[in-house]
Amino acid sequence: MKKYKFLLFDLDDTLFDFSKSQLDGIKHLFEMHDLVFDDYKYDQYLKINRKYWDMLEHNQASIDIVRSKRFEEFFALHNIHVNGIEIDDIYHHYLNNTCHLLPNALKLLTSLQDKYELYAVTNGFSVTQMARLEECNIKHFFKDVFISDSIGYVKPQIEFFNYVSDKIPNFNKDHSLIIGDSLSSDIQGGLNFNMDCCWFNPNFTKNTSEIQPTYEVNSYSELLEII
């Protein structure tokens, strides 16, 4: 008898190839401001963006701060003044209309849909995430979709998981597994909630943190072996 009944999937870089969508979106913003794209400037943006998302995850900033300040701070480094919210709206309009799935993500969901109850649990913006689920034609795999923007809490906050567990009929954390690529949000959130967690690590990134997942997998085939 299988151990898990409820599989809670993160979306970005777990099912969606968010890194590709993000790269394309940032290149679009650079072009708008006549800023030559290169790896150095992109790495600058990624570090600033990660800083603000870390602040959000630790309840040190609001989502509006993340939306505005990451772009204002980055473009200021290059002597370009922008309205952060306006730039963020343009960026998310671009993301809303693009979607890239990771290889074999569709095959994975198809193989799981009749055997488990699948739910999406994601940090991010509701309009963007729902649009991308529709664009990639995978929304129908999930019995429900939980997005931090709508809930009012973000992973890894336990309030996010309390909300999710209250909304899933007959939810049992002992028979539930969260699967995600982020140690700080997905895995730490699962640990905060005392639920098994699986770190999806296809890039074989070394875990230098104190966060220890229940499982670590480098591919979907490895995930299938543990559930």
Distance CA 81, CA 24 (A): 22
In the numeric block, which tokens belong to residue 63?
A: 């989502």
Q: Is-contact 49 135, C-beta < 8 A?
A: no
Q: Which amino acid is at 118?
A: L
Two structure tokens written together for 209: 């943190």
Cβ atoms of 181 and 219 closer than 8 Å? no
Helix (H) or strand (E) holding 64: helix 63-76
Helix (H) or strand (E) holding 192: helix 188-192
Of 97, 78, 75, 77, give the one whose Cα is nearest residue 86: 75
Identify whether 10 is a catalytic site residue: yes
Measure the CA–CA gap between 119 and 189, rounded to whole angstroms: 15
Helix axis angle, 84-96 to 126-135, nearest 10°: 20
The catalytic position among 10, 12, 17, 196 is 10
Q: What are the residue numbers of the active site?
A: 10
